[in-house]
Amino acid sequence: MIAVVGSLNLDLVAPVPRHPVPGETVLGGDIAEHPGGKGANQAVAAARLGGEVAMVGRVGDDDAAQLMLEAVRGQGVDSTHVVRTEGVPTGRAMIAVGPTGENSIVVSPGANARLSAADCEGSADLLGRARVTVLQQEVPDEANHAAARLSGGIVVHNPAPAGENTVPPPYVDLLVPNRTELAALAGTPVPKTIDQVVAAARRMTGAGAVVVTLGGDGVLLLEGGASLHIPAFTVRATDTTAAGDCFCGALAVGLAEGRTLEQAARWAAAAAALSTTRPGAQPSLARRDEVEAFLAE
**Closest CB 232 distance from ligand ADP, rounded Å:** 4
Under 8 Å between Cβ of 217 and 231? yes
- Return the residue of 237, 255, 285, 286 that touches ligand ADP, per CB under 6 A: 237
2 binds ligand ADP per the rule CB under 6 A: no
Is beta strand 209-213 parallel, antiparallel or unpaired with respect to 219-223?
A: antiparallel
Q: Which is nearer to ligand ADP, 137 or 276 (CB)?
A: 276
- Burial-class residue 208 by CB neighbours within 10 Å (0-12, 13-18, 19+): middle
- Return the residue of 116, 188, 196, 240 that touches ligand ADP, per CB under 6 A: 240
Q: Which of 99, 115, 103 is nearest to 5 (CA)?
A: 115
Q: Is 37 annotated as a binding residue?
A: yes
**Closest CB 291 distance from ligand ADP, rounded Å:** 12
219 binds ligand ADP per the rule CB under 6 A: yes
Interface characters, 134-173, with ligand ADP (x: CB under 6 A): --------------------------x-------------
- Return the residue of 147, 253, 272, 286 that touches ligand ADP, per CB under 6 A: 272
Segment lying near ligand ADP (by CB under 6 A), choices 61-69, 90-98, 210-218, 287-295: 210-218
Q: How many CB atoms lie within 10 A of CB 212?
A: 26
Q: What is the DSSP letter of 283?
A: G
280 binds ligand ADP per the rule CB under 6 A: no
Q: Just list the catalytic residues.
A: 245
249 binds ligand ADP per the rule CB under 6 A: no
Assign 61 to helix, strand or coil: coil
Give the C-alpha distances (Å, rounded to integers) separating 290 from 42, 247, 257, 293: 17, 15, 18, 5
Q: What angle do CA 243, 115, 95 make, to 5 degrees?
A: 40
Indicate the residue whose CB is closest to ligand ADP. Answer: 244
Q: What angle do CA 244, 71, 155 make, to 5 degrees?
A: 40
213 binds ligand ADP per the rule CB under 6 A: yes
- Return the residue of 49, 114, 184, 233 that touches ligand ADP, per CB under 6 A: 233
Host H or E run for residue 107:
strand 103-108
176 binds ligand ADP per the rule CB under 6 A: no
Q: Which is nearer to ligand ADP, 85 or 284 (CB)?
A: 284
- Burial-class residue 72 by CB neighbours within 10 Å (0-12, 13-18, 19+): buried
Beta bridge partners of 88: none
Per CB under 6 A, residues contacting ligand ADP are: 160, 178, 213-216, 218-219, 232-233, 235, 237, 240, 243-244, 247, 269, 272-273, 276
Residues marked as binding for K(+)?
Answer: 239, 241, 275, 278, 280, 284
